[in-house]
Amino acid sequence: MLEHPLVRENVIEEREFQISIAEEAAKKSSLVVIPTGLGKTIIAILVIAKTLRKGGRALIVAPTRPLVDQHANSVRKFLTLGSPACLTGQLSKKKRSTLWNVSNIVVATPQVAVNDLKAGLIPNNIVLTVFDEAHRAVGDYAYVPLAKGLRELCPGMLALGLTASPGHEIERIEEVTKHLAIKNLIMRTREDEDVAPYVQEVDMNWLEVAPSEVMEKISGYLTKFLHEQLNALRRYGFLRNRKNIQVRIQDLTDVRKQMHARSKGGKFPPYLFQASRRLSLAHMANHAILCVERQGVDSFLKFVEPKTKEGRSKHDAAFMKDVRVQRAFKAAKKWKGPSHPKLKPLLATVKDQLRLKPDSKIIVFAELRDTVQHIVALVKGLDVSVERFVGQGTRDGRKGMTQKQQQKTLARFEGGGFNVMVATSIAEEGLDVPQVDLVIFYEPVASDIRLIQRRGRTGRDARGKVVTLTTDRSADERYLWAGIKKERKMKRLVDKIAAAARKGEASDEGDIESRPDVEWKPKPKQPTLDDFV
């Protein structure tokens, strides 16, 4: 077991690759890219122990409150530096100010930390900040202003970024390293000699279903309505390089940006008002199609029914007045069968897993809270213990979970209190639940980062299994292959960078050699425990 003056005895297994990475990351600001389930938290703990032995305070930031709680628990479990301060917006400003100044380690969401930075609550002796899920440090995410502000407040601060999924484009990795002022990139792949002994296999499976007759009918009506809006946008000068069947959500988002670029001093000329109306209707139609194809008839009804009520917007009224939308709505209302044909194999997969191993832990991911609730009800019908896990916000009258509810749910799941957790994206990142036997994707995701994060919930302490449910000839197929393509591209990029680092050479991917922000270097000689202490 690993020994260190600030680490509790007999709590951390000695793994050379973790010690090696921590030793290197403690010397200069680093981005650590390592496969899920291989102890990014342990690496952070070791860097904290190494850094705080010389004095100062450490800050750990993580995207979600459940992840913040998990980090706080890890600090309590592994370090002898006292209980960390776990900061949330629910604490008073006075209380947070006190905790910043008396705690050796503070754990917070980035938005809370940014707010406290602006309010002048953060002391100037932060010597280390750990950015968990560091791939988020792009665009206007709170990691970006937080890192900049902390560097100004604490000029000598060390930054440690942790991620399993840096993205499939070198430009994204560069943006992360720039925003976090990273000077060193440390990568390990599943094939590295020092990592391979600790890698667990994950079996990947896809189950494809045929769309039901009612789904095809509803989708057909809505597609005709959508294409009418896209054709109109094309007459206004948008989407001329895209066929109707090629248009995706990002294309519609780009149209909105183009409209604002064409406006004069923020004022829309008359034709842009009409184009904007068509764009809003296209967004509605596209979302409705995704609901029925990827989620089911029930989710489609939950989306459109509020648009039939009094007090609806003009755009909602225009959407629902169209004869094709009305036919789709009528067909959905008449349907008495299962919401989606994916539900049957989902339930069968859950039953099969629990028959093989009655104490299995299973996570089912679904995009929408309505779908989560529907799946929970169906799994309960199997006489299986199941609970939902969603975010805190209340959306369209649908209540989320409080922080305490999230904490209790995760604790019960980890302790074997129930078998199946049905979750939205809130459970994608970082949650370390040991021995999750099976992860089910109710629908595939198009993002390589989200794909890796979801899959990483299993195969951590033992062999795992992932099942992805898809619908033939639907949006599911586009999402599935987009995610696979991006992940393959990311793996090639990571492998290329890692290989170049091992050889001490610069990669030719985008002329990395000319970029001064990142130091490309071979893995150092394995340090000894004496070096680490």
Per the DSSP assignment, residues forming a β-bridge with 487 are none
Lowest-confidence region among 49-58, 141-150, 429-438: 429-438
* pLDDT given for residue 460 in this prediction: 74
How far, rounded to the nearest angstrom, does the alpha carbon of residue 345 sit from its chain's CA centroid?
25
Residue 38 has pLDDT above 50, yes or no: yes
Rounded Cα distance, 26 and 493, in Å: 25
Between 25 and 187, residue with greater pLDDT = 25
Mention every residue, 6+ apart, whose C-beta is less than 8 A from residue 424: 365, 366, 367, 368, 369, 372, 389, 390, 391
Residue 495 has pLDDT above 80, yes or no: no
* pLDDT given for residue 526 in this prediction: 37
Q: Are strands 126-132 and 85-87 parallel, antiparallel or unpaired?
A: unpaired
Rounded Cα distance, 149 and 347, in Å: 49
Rounded Cα distance, 86 and 100, in Å: 10
139, 172 Cβ separation under 8 angstroms: no
| 202-209+341-472 classified as CATH 3.40.50.300 | yes
* pLDDT given for residue 529 in this prediction: 32
* pLDDT given for residue 513 in this prediction: 32
Residues shown for the chain = 533
Provide the mean pLDDT of the chain. Answer: 88
130, 60 Cβ separation under 8 angstroms: yes
| Cα 372 to Cα 14, 324, 352, 426, distances in angstroms | 40, 28, 20, 12
Q: Which of 185-189, 249-253, 426-430, 498-502 has the highest mean pLDDT?
A: 249-253
Cβ neighbours around 145 below 10 Å, total: 16
* pLDDT given for residue 260 in this prediction: 87
Beta strands in 390-427 (DSSP E): 420-423
Residue 194 has pLDDT above 80, yes or no: yes
The DSSP secondary-structure symbol of 519 reads B
* pLDDT given for residue 395 in this prediction: 66
Lowest-confidence region among 43-57, 256-270, 458-472, 509-523: 509-523
463, 203 Cβ separation under 8 angstroms: yes
Mention every residue, 6+ apart, whose C-beta is less than 8 A from residue 477: 470, 471
43, 21 Cβ separation under 8 angstroms: yes
Q: At what angle do helices 323-334 and 270-290 cross, to 10 degrees?
A: 20
The token pair at 107 is 């754990």
pLDDT band at 463 (very low <50, low <70, confident <90, very high): confident
pLDDT band at 409 (very low <50, low <70, confident <90, very high): very high
Residue 252 has pLDDT above 70, yes or no: yes
Compute the CA torsion angle 94, 95, 101, 106 (nearest 10 deg): -130
Report the Cα–Cα distance between both ends of the chain, in Å, rounded.
14
Lowest-confidence region among 6-15, 256-265, 390-399, 470-479: 390-399
Residue 223 has pLDDT above 90, yes or no: yes
Residue 505 has pLDDT above 60, yes or no: no
How far, rounded to the nearest angstrom, does the alpha carbon of residue 76 sit from its chain's CA centroid?
25
Rounded Cα distance, 330 and 347, in Å: 28
Residue 345 has pLDDT above 90, yes or no: yes
* pLDDT given for residue 52 in this prediction: 95
Between 526 and 341, residue with greater pLDDT = 341
Express each pLDDT in 304-336 by its tens digit.
Answer: 999 999 889 999 999 999 999 999 999 999 999
Provide the CATH number for the domain formed by 213-334 in this structure. Answer: 1.20.1320.20
E strand or H helix that includes residue 467: strand 464-471
What share of the chain in percent tops pLDDT 90? 64
* pLDDT given for residue 516 in this prediction: 32
248, 475 Cβ separation under 8 angstroms: no
Q: Report the predicted TM-score, pTM, of the whole model to 2 decimal places.
A: 0.78
Answer yes or no: same fold for 16-197+491-527 and 202-209+341-472. yes
Backbone angles phi, psi at 186, to 5 degrees: -115, 120
DSSP sequence for 330-387: HHHHH--S-S-TTHHHHHHHHHHHHHH-TT--EEEE-SSHHHHHHHHHHHHTTT--EE
* pLDDT given for residue 496 in this prediction: 78
Q: What SS3 string covers 247-302?
A: CCHHHHHHHHHHHHHHCECCECCHHHHHHHHHHHHHHHHHHHHHHHHHHCHHHHHH
Residue 264 has pLDDT above 50, yes or no: yes
CATH architecture of 16-197+491-527: 3-Layer(aba) Sandwich (3.40)
Express each pLDDT in 110-167 by its tens digit.
Answer: 999 999 999 999 999 999 999 999 999 999 999 999 999 999 999 999 999 999 888 8
CA atoms in the 13 A half-sphere facing the CB of 57: 22
pLDDT band at 190 (very low <50, low <70, confident <90, very high): confident
Domain definitions of the chain by residue range: 16-197+491-527, 202-209+341-472, 213-334
Mention every residue, 6+ apart, whose C-beta is less than 8 A from residue 339: 295, 296, 297, 298, 299, 374
The token pair at 48 is 């904290």
* pLDDT given for residue 202 in this prediction: 85
